[in-house]
């Protein structure tokens, strides 16, 4: 990212130095080609913030940015889970439906007088169980990831609908709501406060753990190796089978955690919650620079991707002149532009 000023400086000096410098840049870029999409996502995120600030104002301020984090904490958690799955070259389409099932079940149990902490644990375990089921189907019965998680998606959505088809309201005094307590870090003028909720903290912890596991442990190396070439990974003696099972459990568990965070924030659970979130999460991961074919990508990139999507929604809402029917078209086009931009960047890097 520091290339631009340097290039500007050298353009005034001798031709040989420019060539040398360009060579060096090219080598650098080639060495780190896989980081480029993530860097691009980051640049685009910053550009969106700058554009939003100039065009609509009130973007770079504590309240907007903390709301961005609070409102997208669940998406960040989902994106971390999907990063694992997509890195291995798989896909998990069930996360949105798991959130629906887990939150409806959680709210109903909580309203029925269950201990809130038991309920929270159950909500997370529902996710883990669903993930485990997909993992077993994929790993031991050779079902394609797409189909197995699609079946889980139908199953979870159907189970949620069987429980209830109307919005279920979480009791006002439920301890689950504690996850949405707003902690003021900096008390700004008027409502311009820097606010953090436990949900955001959980998301941050999930990101940190995800980062550590992927980039600092053997499991993480195995995940990348499977994405690069599953057969080679197996021939190298890596625990491919167990790891593939685990990543779906991780993805399901994180969906369960996302469900707790989301339910606590909204206080309402419904069987249609989370429709299309699997696509949002996939988009976040892809925007963040993870290849859909697996093998390359970063957890932090996915976080940026999730925030880009969140910011995009903020900008669309701020614009106001955009008809609500247009939102999905804009979402689609922006997602498309991102993919195009990244392809351009990768193409130049190679």
Partner 1 sequence: MNESKSNLERVRAIIRSQYFWGIVAIFLLLLINLIKDPSYLNLSYNPTTGAFVGNIIDILRAAAPILMIAVGVCLVIATGGIDLSVGSVMVVSGAVTMEFLSAANQPDSIGAAALAILLALLLSTVLGLVNGVLVAFVGLQPFITTLVMMLAGRGIAKVITEGQNTSATNEPVRWIANGYAFGLPVVFLIAVAVIVVVSIVVRKSALGLMIEAIGIDPKASRLAGLNRRGLLLTVYAISGLLAGIAGIFATASVMTVDVSRTGYQLELDAILAVVIGGTSLAGGKFSIGGAVIGALLIATLDKTVLFLGVPSSATPAFKAIVIIALCLLSSERVRSLFRQRRLTTPLTPKETVPS
Residues of this chain that bind partner 1 (CB under 8 A): 137, 140-144, 146-148, 150-155, 157-159, 161-162, 165, 231, 234-235, 237, 271, 276, 279, 282-283, 286, 292-293, 323-333, 335-336, 339-340, 343
Strand partners, 138: none
What is the number of H-type helices and E-type strands within the chain? 14, 4
- Closest approach, Cβ 43 to partner 1, in A, equals 20
DSSP assignment string, 324-341: GGGHHHHHHHHHHHHHHH
Shortest CB 228 distance to partner 1, Å: 17
The full DSSP string for 116-158 is HHHHHHHHHHHHHHHHHHHHHHHHHS---HHHHHHHHHHHHHH
Nearer to partner 1 by Cβ, of 57 and 332: the residue is: 332
Dihedral of the alpha carbons of 278, 284, 288, 290, in degrees to the nearest 10: 10
- Please state, in angstroms and as integers, the Cα–Cα distance from residue 115 to each residue in 111, 172, 175, following that order: 10, 15, 9
Nearest CB to partner 1, comparing residues 251 and 271:
271
The least CB distance from residue 148 to partner 1, in Å, is 7
For residue 55, the minimal CB distance to partner 1 (Å) is: 22
* Nearest CB to partner 1, comparing residues 200 and 282: 282
CA dist 262 → 31, 84, 104 (Å): 40, 21, 11
Spatial separation of the C-alpha atoms in residues 277 and 104, rounded to whole Å: 16
Identify the residue whose tokens are 């999460």: 281
For 30, what's the count of Cα atoms within 13 Å in the CB-facing half-sphere? 7
At 268, give phi and psi (nearest 5°): -130, 135
| Closer of 199 and 288 to partner 1 (Cβ) | 288
CB of 158 to partner 1, least distance (A): 2
Q: How far is the CB of 165 from partner 1 (least distance, A)?
A: 5
Q: What's the rounded Cα separation, in Å, for the pair 142 and 136?
A: 9
Q: Smallest distance from the beta carbon of 348 to partner 1, in angstroms?
A: 14
Our CB check for partner 1 shows the closer of 198 and 349 to be 349
Nearer to partner 1, 11 or 333 (CB): 333
């Amino acid at each position: 990212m520091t290339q631009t000023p340097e290039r500007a400086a050298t353009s005034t000096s001798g031709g040989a130095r420019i060539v040398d410098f360009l060579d060096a840049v090219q080598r650098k870029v080639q060495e780190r080609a896989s980081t480029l999409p993530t860097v691009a996502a980051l640049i685009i995120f910053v550009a969106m913030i700058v554009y939003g600030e100039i065009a609509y104002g009130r973007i770079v301020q504590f309240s907007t940015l903390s709301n961005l984090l609070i409102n997208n904490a669940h998406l960040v958690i989902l994106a971390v889970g999907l990063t694992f799955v997509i890195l291995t070259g798989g896909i998990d389409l069930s996360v949105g439906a798991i959130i629906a099932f887990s939150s409806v079940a959680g709210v109903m149990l909580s309203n029925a007088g269950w201990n809130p902490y038991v309920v929270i644990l159950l909500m997370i375990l529902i996710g883990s169980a669903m993930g485990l089921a997909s993992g077993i189907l994929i790993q031991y019965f050779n079902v394609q990831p797409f189909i197995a998680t699609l079946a889980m998606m139908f199953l979870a959505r159907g189970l949620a609908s069987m429980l209830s088809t109307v919005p279920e309201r979480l009791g006002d005094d439920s301890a689950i709501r504690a996850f949405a307590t707003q902690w003021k870090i900096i008390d700004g003028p008027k409502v311009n406060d820097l606010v953090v909720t436990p949900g955001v903290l959980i998301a941050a912890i999930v990101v940190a753990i995800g980062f550590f596991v992927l980039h600092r442990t053997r499991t993480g190396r195995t995940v990348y190796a499977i994405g690069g070439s599953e057969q080679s990974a197996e021939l190298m003696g890596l625990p491919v089978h167990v790891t593939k099972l685990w990543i779906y459990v991780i993805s399901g568990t994180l969906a369960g955690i996302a469900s707790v965070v989301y339910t606590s924030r909204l206080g309402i659970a419904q069987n249609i919650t989370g429709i299309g979130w699997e696509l949002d999460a996939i988009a976040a991961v892809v925007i963040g620079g993870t290849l859909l074919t697996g093998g390359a990508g970063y957890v932090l990139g996915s976080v940026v991707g999730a925030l880009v999507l969140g910011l995009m929604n903020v900008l669309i809402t701020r614009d106001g002149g955009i008809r609500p029917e247009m939102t999905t078209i804009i979402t689609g086009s922006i997602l498309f532009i991102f993919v195009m931009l990244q392809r351009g960047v990768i193409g130049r890097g190679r």
